RNA sequence: CGGGGCGUAGCGCAGCCUGGUUAGCGCGCCUGCCUUGGGAGCAGGAGGUCGGAGGUUCGAAUCCUCUCGCCCCGACCA
């Protein structure tokens, strides 16, 4: 491609709307332009990156035995009513009606459509297993789109769905995807971890997220320092505390103490001369419309997703003080589990506490000597709190670390949730009718582009991993006015293309400085310069974007040498 | 949806508080000269319903009301 003919609008200044580096560089480098909040046009260079990622995904999915198809973006409401998600999915599902007043939605995911297809086309166990995937634009009416391609409302996603005869067979399909995902992200040049994850609204029993490690990540991961355990904090389990440690003699009676104006855990601890760990923190959540009290130790935090899962709820959010007061007339700030007229759920750790301090449900008063089990009995006790750095790993007991990640892939074991809801069955070898055992597997293709940049950039711009770079080589002609130099550059441009190298030929009438800056900004892995060195010595310069290493090469050798470097590097990354 | 902020030329911003010429500046863009190894220089030029609507006023980018859009912080997710 000739740069002079390409729509590649780079800018020197960073648009004020961009906060994170990937967003800034994608805008500055002329990869994307915003049309509306969370909705972007992919300019030629941006599209090239998307297509590179998509092709890697496609190759590895095919290698794993999956087949590509393409489903409609517009989906009938009836299908979603069948699965029950028309109600469940919420405002993120963009709904609309056609001229006949029939309900439709823009597909945020395709379990319904694929399950409908499967029940029509798959009748026999002989047709299984099947794994079907597509690479398509999805739409989710995100509450808050942000960070450019990291969280758009419209985005390119690969979604795959597997159908199996049994749970065991589905496990195999899952494992195949697990392995394929490792290959995909490795080939994309990403540093990532697979972590145990919450299943969210998609539902199902078991799932892994694939996380690109980056400071700007929106998810927090728990990673063990000693073993391979890794999980999303939303999910990361905490081993139950050892019980029976408290000697009975030390158990005191409950007492009411005046604590005027003292509300926060820190204040209470200071005022009463106890540790935060001796206090029971009572947090009020709105769980599917009802108020629920969640108890954790004073020095811990409630993990809302864990609470949600423990209660089997669909929606959980922290209730604000106003709501709590209006609904219960209880004194916010002085709440405690003793005689609390709300459903109480306790973290397992709370049940092991002795002689605790808790709110008295009375303004300006707390209780001391509170004994869980004696003075109150929770509706449920379980793992509720968020893991903190240094907590013991649930797998090996070693200390865990917290780190940030960008979710680029998510695989789920769905079981028969959808096939049952939508009556999708096949006939098994013994003649019996069975529901498909399903799995679903997503990859955020456009998000990978953003994640790759978050992980690979410097102050000059992007440093694309070779396999996802929009071009492999940028060829700079710095001697446009010199006929011989230009002839040589043009010839090299063709020679590289003949060898299958993807090359952007900068033939613009620009000063060298601008060309260097643009080349760095858009992150092409290899840069070849034809200019002064060619005129003096008949040599060209080859520079690697990542480390700035530069060598000069005899002009005649240049195309072959660079093509060889690229092929070797690609082969190494493909594993 | 709750909280915070911003809409002035393609991009980055000033002007607004304290209303009053023809609304400025830098970058970019166009023309010419000059220059050519890390975003040069000189000269000339184009480009604005000041997000939109209504109001106050002799007069509104500026004050008031409404509205739309966008960004940031929380709950959702590839």
- A355, A376, A350: which is closest to A274 by C-alpha? A355
The reply to whether omega before A39 is within 30° of 0 (cis) is no
How far apart, in whole angstroms, are the C-alpha atoms of residue A162 and residue A421?
17
- In degrees rounded to 5, what are phi and psi of residue A486? -65, -40
Q: Which two tokens stand for residue A285?
A: 């959540």
How far apart, in whole angstroms, are the C-alpha atoms of residue A187 and residue A60?
10
3-class state of residue A243 by DSSP: coil
For position A9, what pLDDT does the model report? 95
Question: C-alpha distances in angstroms, A490 versus A212, A434, A542, A544?
Answer: 39, 64, 16, 21
How far apart, in whole angstroms, are the C-alpha atoms of residue A138 and residue A156?
6
The reply to whether omega before A129 is within 30° of 0 (cis) is yes
How far apart, in whole angstroms, are the C-alpha atoms of residue A481 and residue A4?
15
* Residue A209 Cβ under 7 A from any strand B atom: yes
**Contact between A438 and A163 (Cβ < 8 Å):** yes
- Closest nucleotide over all strands to A441 (CA to C1'): B78
Question: C-alpha distances in angstroms, A338 versus A147, A357, A374?
Answer: 45, 11, 10
For position A247, what pLDDT does the model report? 59
To which H or E segment does residue A381 belong? strand A380-382
Distance A67 CA to B76 C1' (A): 30
- Closest nucleotide over all strands to A232 (CA to C1'): B77
Distance A514 CA to B42 C1' (A): 20
- Closest nucleotide over all strands to A149 (CA to C1'): B78
For position A186, what pLDDT does the model report? 96
* Residue A516 Cβ under 7 A from any strand B atom: yes
Torsion of CA A481, A483, A488, A494, to 10 degrees: 90
**Contact between A136 and A70 (Cβ < 8 Å):** yes
Distance A510 CA to B31 C1' (A): 17
pTM above 0.90, yes or no: yes
* Residue A567 Cβ under 7 A from any strand B atom: no
Q: Which two tokens stand for residue A113?
A: 């459509």
**Contact between A150 and A27 (Cβ < 8 Å):** no
Q: Which two tokens stand for residue A491?
A: 């010839």
Q: Which two tokens stand for residue A151?
A: 């969280």
* Residue A36 Cβ under 7 A from any strand B atom: yes
**Contact between A436 and A114 (Cβ < 8 Å):** no
* Residue A305 Cβ under 7 A from any strand B atom: yes
Could you list the beta-strand ranges (E) of A348-421.
356-359, 365-370, 380-382, 400-415
* Residue A511 Cβ under 7 A from any strand B atom: yes
How far apart, in whole angstroms, are the C-alpha atoms of residue A98 and residue A425?
31
- Closest nucleotide over all strands to A138 (CA to C1'): B78
For chain A, the distance separating the N- and C-terminal CA atoms, rounded to the nearest angstrom, is 29
- Closest nucleotide over all strands to A533 (CA to C1'): B37
Residue A376 DSSP code: B
pLDDT by 10-residue block (mean), chain A, 575 residues: 95 90 95 93 97 98 98 95 88 90 94 97 98 96 90 95 97 97 96 85 75 89 88 86 62 90 86 91 86 90 87 81 79 88 91 91 92 93 90 89 92 94 97 97 96 95 98 97 95 98 97 97 98 96 97 97 98 90
* Residue A146 Cβ under 7 A from any strand B atom: yes
* Residue A544 Cβ under 7 A from any strand B atom: no
Positions 52-91 of A with beta carbon below 7 A from strand B are: none
- Closest nucleotide over all strands to A304 (CA to C1'): B75
Distance A109 CA to B54 C1' (A): 44
Give, as ranges, the nucleotides of chain B with any atom within 7 Å of a protein CB. 1-2, 10-13, 26-28, 35-40, 69-78
* Residue A426 Cβ under 7 A from any strand B atom: no
* Residue A144 Cβ under 7 A from any strand B atom: yes
For position A312, what pLDDT does the model report? 83
Distance A187 CA to B36 C1' (A): 40
Distance A515 CA to B78 C1' (A): 35
Distance A566 CA to B29 C1' (A): 38
Residue closest to B38, CA→C1'?
A513
How far apart, in whole angstroms, are the C-alpha atoms of residue A153 and residue A107?
12
Residue closest to B39, CA→C1'?
A514
For the beta sheet containing A290-297, the strands, ordered from the edge strand earlier in sequence to the opposite edge, are A316-318, A280-287, A290-297, A343-347, A380-382
* Residue A19 Cβ under 7 A from any strand B atom: yes
* Residue A308 Cβ under 7 A from any strand B atom: yes
Distance A18 CA to B36 C1' (A): 34
For position A394, what pLDDT does the model report? 87
Distance A15 CA to B15 C1' (A): 21
**Contact between A550 and A516 (Cβ < 8 Å):** no
- In degrees rounded to 5, what are phi and psi of residue A300? -115, 170
Residues 6+ apart with CB under 8 A from A278: A269, A298, A353, A355, A356, A357
Complex ipTM? 0.94
Distance A321 CA to B52 C1' (A): 38
Distance A143 CA to B77 C1' (A): 10
* Residue A478 Cβ under 7 A from any strand B atom: yes
**Residue with the two structure tokens 């959540």:** A285
How far apart, in whole angstroms, are the C-alpha atoms of residue A94 and residue A30?
29
* Residue A140 Cβ under 7 A from any strand B atom: yes
Q: Residue A220 forms beta bridges with which residues?
A: A404
- Helical pair A167-187 and A555-574, crossing angle rounded to 10 deg: 150
Q: Which two tokens stand for residue A150?
A: 């990291």
* Residue A390 Cβ under 7 A from any strand B atom: no
Distance A505 CA to B41 C1' (A): 28
């Amino acid at each position: 491609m000739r740069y002079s003919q390409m729509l590649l609008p780079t800018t020197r200044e960073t648009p004020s709307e961009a906060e994170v580096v990937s967003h800034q560089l994608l805008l500055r480098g002329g990869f994307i332009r915003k049309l509306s909040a969370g909705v972007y046009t992919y300019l030629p260079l941006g599209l090239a990156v998307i297509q590179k990622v998509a092709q890697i995904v496609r190759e590895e999915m095919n290698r794993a035995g999956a087949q590509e198809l393409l489903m409609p973006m517009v989906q009938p409401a009836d299908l979603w009513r069948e699965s029950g998600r028309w109600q469940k999915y919420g405002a993120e599902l963009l709904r609309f009606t056609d001229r006949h007043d029939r309900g439709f939605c823009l597909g945020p995911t395709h379990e319904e459509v694929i399950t409908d297809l499967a029940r029509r086309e798959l009748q026999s166990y002989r047709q299984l297993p099947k794994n079907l995937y597509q690479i398509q634009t999805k739409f989710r009416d995100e509450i808050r789109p942000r960070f450019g391609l990291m969280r758009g409302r419209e985005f390119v996603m690969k979604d795959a769905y597997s159908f199996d005869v049994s749970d065991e067979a589905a496990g195999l399909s899952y494992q195949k995807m697990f392995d394929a995902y490792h290959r995909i992200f490795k080939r994309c040049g990403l540093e990532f971890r697979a972590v145990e994850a919450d299943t969210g609204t998609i539902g199902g029993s078991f799932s892994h997220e694939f996380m690109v490690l980056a400071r700007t990540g929106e998810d927090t991961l728990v990673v063990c320092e000693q073993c391979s355990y890794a999980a999303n904090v939303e999910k990361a389990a905490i081993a139950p505390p050892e019980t029976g440690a408290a000697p009975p003699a030390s158990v005191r009676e409950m007492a009411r103490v005046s604590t005027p104006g003292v509300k926060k855990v820190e204040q209470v601890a200071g005022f009463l001369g106890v540790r935060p760990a001796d206090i029971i923190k009572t947090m009020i959540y709105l769980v599917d419309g009802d108020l629920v009290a969640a108890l954790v130790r004073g020095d811990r935090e409630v993990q809302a997703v864990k609470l949600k899962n423990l209660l089997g709820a669909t929606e959980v959010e922290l209730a604000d003080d106003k709501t709590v007061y209006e609904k219960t007339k209880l004194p916010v700030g002085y709440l405690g589990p003793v005689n609390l007229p709300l459903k109480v759920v306790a973290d397992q750790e709370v049940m092991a506490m002795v002689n605790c301090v808790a709110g008295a449900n009375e303004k300006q008063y707390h209780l001391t000597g509170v004994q869980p089990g004696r003075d109150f009995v929770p509706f449920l006790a379980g793992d509720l709190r968020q893991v903190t750095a240094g907590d013991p790993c649930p797998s090996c007991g070693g200390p865990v670390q917290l780190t940030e990640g960008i979710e680029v892939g998510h695989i789920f074991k769905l079981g028969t949730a959808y096939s049952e809801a939508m009556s999708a069955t096949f006939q098994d070898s013994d003649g019996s009718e069975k529901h498909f055992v399903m799995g679903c597997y997503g990859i955020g293709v456009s998000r990978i582009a953003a994640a790759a940049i978050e992980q690979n950039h410097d102050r000059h711009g992007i440093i694309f991993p070779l396999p996802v770079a929009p071009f492999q080589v940028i060829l700079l002609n710095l001697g446009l006015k010199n006929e011989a130099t230009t002839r040589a550059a043009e010839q090299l441009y063709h020679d590289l293309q003949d060898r299958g190298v993807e090359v952007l030929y900068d033939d613009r009438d620009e000063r060298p400085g601008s060309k260097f800056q643009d080349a760095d900004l858009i992150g092409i892995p290899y840069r070849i310069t034809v200019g002064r060195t060619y005129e003096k010595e008949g040599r060209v310069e080859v520079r690697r974007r990542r480390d700035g290493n530069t060598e000069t090469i005899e002009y005649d050798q240049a195309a072959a040498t660079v093509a060889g470097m690229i092929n070797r590097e690609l082969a190494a990354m493909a594993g």
